[in-house]
Each structure stands twice: as structure tokens, then as C-alpha cells.
Amino acid sequence: MMINAEWDRIKGRLRDEVGDAAYRSWLRPITLHQAADGLVRLGLPTRFMRDWVATHYGERIRTLWGAENPALSAIEIVVANSRVPEPAAPPPVVDATTVASAKPTATVSVLRPRSAAPAASADQDELGALLDPRFTFKNFVVGKPNEFAHAAALRVAEASAVSFNPLFLYGGVGLGKTHLMHAIAHHIRDHNPARRVLYLSAEKFMYRFIRALRSQDTMSFKEQFRSVDVLMVDDVQFIAGKDATQEEFFHTFNALVDQGRQIVISADKSPSDLEGMEDRLRSRLNSGLVADLHATTYELRLGILHSKAEQMAAAVPQKVMEFLAHKIVSNVRELEGALNRVVAHSQLVGRSITLESTQDVLHDLLKASDRRITIEEIQKRVAEHFNIKLAEMSSARRSRQVARPRQVAMYLAKQLTSRSLPEIGRKFGGRDHTTVMHAVKKIEELRSSDVGFSEDVELLRRMLQN
């Protein structure tokens, strides 16, 4: 079709003008949704992207297309999903005048849901992130490293009144924080659908706030976030160092607490260890129940594999399960991914799963796992490099001759292993996690100011990785 050729040429021009990075982020996702009677409808997957493209690129798209096809009368930018406009309120059309408007709401169509549900509910659905149907309490495997966090999450989900405010879940990558948050949301929606639940990432909260500032519509933003019964924010560490977003989040937090609404938050560190957070916000995050998810044990990993295999209805030999539980220790996502690969290979080639086939299918993953560096290796190599006794890594001596190599070893342990700060501290004579944090910060400062020292540390890192 001629219209497709026109759109291809326009995309080429846009790519040349804005560069590859901006094109991939904002313009490549645009689809030619509909074209008829001088009207072109372009689609984007989310409201945020739709508003951004309309505001920043809408006028240029209109100009380029006008040059390609003078018969074109208008361009409409929509969210290209299953939602359609209500017959009684057709979406406004984007023409050269409205595209130039500074407010996103004037430049894009507003799609209403098919159902007769209240508009506020529809807004909440689009405002938050989609929930993964797999992430329920039923599918969460409980073990010693996560039993406290699981119990706290279940209590919040089942409680008719606010139990802990906020519930703060923290832990490393792939240990189950997001799973528990989704499980809370699923449980509340299934058992108490009248409660309004909003789950989203801290990154999305920030983007929504920025969009409200640019459109001079912060009141609507405040109303959307402060009218929910349960607010769930994932990866709150993302707003560290972003003062304006923290300010708004702090006021949203206070407003919901004052109204007796439930707040659930997750992060990769405890509130006390979140750098770049205002003291008053850190204090608020610490004011409820803080529950951590520890690194998985062998028994928990084995239980997760059994549960996953049962869900997949896959016959996986016990020896293969044990092998994977021993070898894949970094996080649950990697563990489940390994099992998925093994089962998929078996089904595609039509062979049963054996220990030999598992090793063959996962050779790259197992090789990387075998190269995984331990804190003991780091301590030994650093002690040799600085010519001190290995025992000094755990000693109480504070002389610079000993303290600096110890700090280097802590720094490398944080960089090269998946161990948490408390775990690293325990390997260095039972030191507190704040000591490890100080060591990491000190070495980073020295590396930026002392070229020779930085080269020494980099040499140690390369020796350990090879």
C-alpha cells in the first residue's frame, strides 16, 4: 500500500534526524494502526509513550507526512491495545494546531474502556503495571531464607485492616520480592475486589510525576495515587538521588498512611542502607515492618525446582534436580531459566532428560557458574598482592597497612560476588554491613583520585576473573 511506503520513508527521515538511540526508544515502537479518508492513526503500546511521542515528535511527523501526502488531513496517536473509543465520545483528532500544544492531554486521543466501569478504575488499571498470573502465594516456595517475608506478605494480603505500614521487602536480584508483591495484589483482588490496589515500579512513579509536571496537571497525579486502598511500589531504590520525585513520594506516603491505607515497598537494600534517600523518607520506610529475603539454600532451590517441574508437568529425574540445585546458586530466576532450557530441549528433540543432556544443554551457564568467584579467593589473592597474612582479613587490627588491603578485598567482594553486605561483613571477622559500605565507598574515592592505586585494584580484579 502507498500509505505503508509513505510511513517507511517518514520513519527513515525521523531516524536520520533524531539518531538511533532516540529512534529505538520512542519511534520504532510506533505502528501504522489505521489509515482512511485522509486520517492516519498511529499506535503505541503505552499511554506514557503515546503522550511523549505526541508532545515531542507529533508536529514533525505531521510536517513530514504533509510533504509526502498533501491529501492527509489529520493524524491521531492512540494506545494500540484492545481498548476502543466509546461511540458517544470519539477521540479528538491530532491536527497541526493541537500537536503543537504544550500539554500531552491536548495532543492525543483518550481511549475509554469497553465496560461501563467507573473511569477512575480504568485509570488505576492503566496507571499500574500488569500482574504476572504465575506470581501467587500458591506458587511461592517457602524456605528458611524467605519464610519471614512470606508470612508478612500473607498477613498484609489477608488483613482487612492495615497490619504493618509500610511493609518493606528487600533482598538481592531474583530472590522473590516481586513475586510476593504480585501475590499480595492477586490475593486482595481475588478476595476483596472492592479494595483498589495499585502496583507499579518506582521508575514508573517517577515518569508519571514528570509527565504531570510537564502537563501542569499535578493535582490529577496526586488524586490518582492518593485514592487507592493499597499502594505497592517495586524497586524504590530507583528514586535515590532524585529529590523532586522523593519529595512527592514522601507526601504521597504520608497522605496514604494518614488515611489508614496500606503501603508495600520493595528494594534491593534495607531502608537504612539506601544511599541517596532523604533522611525523613528513610525514617518513614523504616517505620513499618522490614523483612528481608536471604540468598537461597540448597534445600530451597531443590524445592523450587520440584514446584516448577510440577507446574510444567515435566518428568525431571531427581539427580538432575539435585545437580541444578548444587550448580545454579546465584538466584531463582537463573535457576528456573536453567530448568526451562532443559525441559524445552527435551520436548523439542524428543529425548528424555538425563544428567548428560542437562550438562550439554547448560554448558555455557555451568561454565560461568564454575568461574564464580568466592570471597575466600578474593581474600587470599589480595593478601598475597599486599604481602600480608591471610588471617589479617578477619583480624581486629586497624593499622593502614592491614586496613587498606582489607577494604580492597571488601570492595572486590561487593563487585565480583552476589553476596549481600551483611554476608560479606561476616566473612571479614563478623564485621557490620556498614563497615563494608564504608570500605566500598572509600575504595571508590581512592580509585577516582589515585591512578596508581586504581590500576592496582583493576589488576587484582582481572586476575580474579581470569
Residue 177 annotated as binding site = yes
Report the candidate in 459, 463, 446, 431 with the shortest Cα–Cα distance to residue 400: 446
Alpha carbon distance 455, 451 (integer Å): 6
Residue 178 annotated as binding site = yes
Residue 174 annotated as binding site = yes
- Indicate the helix (H) or strand (E) that contains 279: helix 279-285
How many other β-carbons are positioned within 10 Å of the β-carbon of residue 82?
Answer: 8
Amino acid, single-letter form, for residue 358: T
Is the N-terminal amide bond of 118 cis, ω within 30° of 0? Answer: no
Is the separation of the CB atoms in 64 and 10 below 8 Å? yes
Residue 176 annotated as binding site = yes
C-alpha cell at 234: 517495586
Which residues touch 188 (CB under 8 Å, ≥6 apart)? 157, 195, 197, 230
DSSP letter string, 412-461: HHHHHS---HHHHHHHTTS--HHHHHHHHHHHHHHHHH-HHHHHHHHHHH
Strands 39-44 and 74-79: parallel
Report the candidate in 448, 455, 389, 443 with the shortest Cα–Cα distance to residue 413: 443
Residues contributing to the annotated binding site = 174, 176-178
- Binding-site members for ATP are 174, 176-178
